[in-house]
Amino acid sequence: MKWSLPILLPGLVAGYIFLFLAQEQHDSIVRQDISPALPTQMLNIFGHSYLNQIIAEALFIKTAVYYGGLTREMDDGNLKTMGQHFITMSQLHPKMLDIYYRAESVLAHRGDSHTRIANQILETGRSALPNQVALPFFEGFNYFYYLKNPIKAAEILRIASNILDAPQWIGHLASMLMGSGGNIRSGLIWLKGMLSTVQDEDEKARYEKDIHAFEKAMQVQLALDRYAHRHGDYPDSLTALVPADLAALPSWENDYLLDYQAPKLLLRKKSRH
């Protein structure tokens, strides 16, 4: 008798699920470690989308059962294995939204290496689900809060802000992060572009206030560039700009302040503590 894939498929799926459930039961009795998933190339050997979906969902159940049953903190080895599970799931069934929410909640806050793995998984999700605002928002948040990279965070949040029906504040936040990361030019351009789309008068006033702050910071940035062009390097202090390159340093009566970390000029929101 000649066996075809449609005939073999139910048996393969049932066998895989039986094996991983049996392994999970054994693991729950013997130890609290999660076993690695098989390599994606092996799981994807038949290239069958439905089979890939079933395997990804089975792996998701396995990770959810394991994580939900923990009575202690995961060690680094288990976190790496958990990351490998999520990578495998996202490669097998990239349109399964639950993968990305769970990966974010499990991995992102566990240290830089695991945050980067979470972002790698979220990138897969952004490609497969380009209309999901949450995925670039998660990735941008991770870059800003955990990896201390406001410029990269702003770039990702800018992608989120361009998704249809994305909240207006995401683009505004991206502009603020550009300023705090030292890219005042881009932040100013984005703010002006967003102002042109705003209808509410109170919201327009807030944008105009932010633009005014960015424009003042931009004058200082241009003075720094002039100084560097003339001297071959940026000054150690902003006071060196006065009066040759700037008549006076701007005052900051609003919510912003300049933070000069040569050669970068950062525009930051004042703390409200």
> Using H for helix, E for strand and C for coil, what is the string for 187-244?
HHHHHHHHHCCCCCHHHHHHHHHHHHHHHHHHHHHHHHHHHHHHHCCCCCCHHHHCCC
Are the beta carbons of 237 and 260 closer than 8 angstroms? yes
Res 3: pLDDT: 46
Residue-averaged pLDDT of the chain: 83
The two tokens of residue 145 are 């809060």
Cβ neighbourhood burial of 191 (10 Å; 0-12, 13-18, 19+): buried
User: What pairs with residue 261 in β-bridges?
Assistant: 264
Q: How far apart are CA 106 and CA 224, in angstroms?
A: 44
State the pLDDT confidence band at 168, using cuts at 50, 70 and 90.
Answer: confident
pTM of the entire structure?
0.72
Asked if pLDDT for residue 260 goes beyond 60, the answer is yes
Instruction: Look up residue 97 and give its amino acid.
Output: L
Flag the least confident range among 16-30, 86-100, 135-149, 250-264. Answer: 16-30
Residue positions counted in the chain: 273
- In the predicted model, what is the mean pLDDT of residues 211-238? 95
Q: How far apart are CA 116 and CA 148, in angstroms?
A: 12
Domains of the chain and any CATH numbers: 1-148 (1.25.40), 167-273 (no CATH)
* 165 compared with 45, residue with greater pLDDT: 165
Res 109: pLDDT: 93
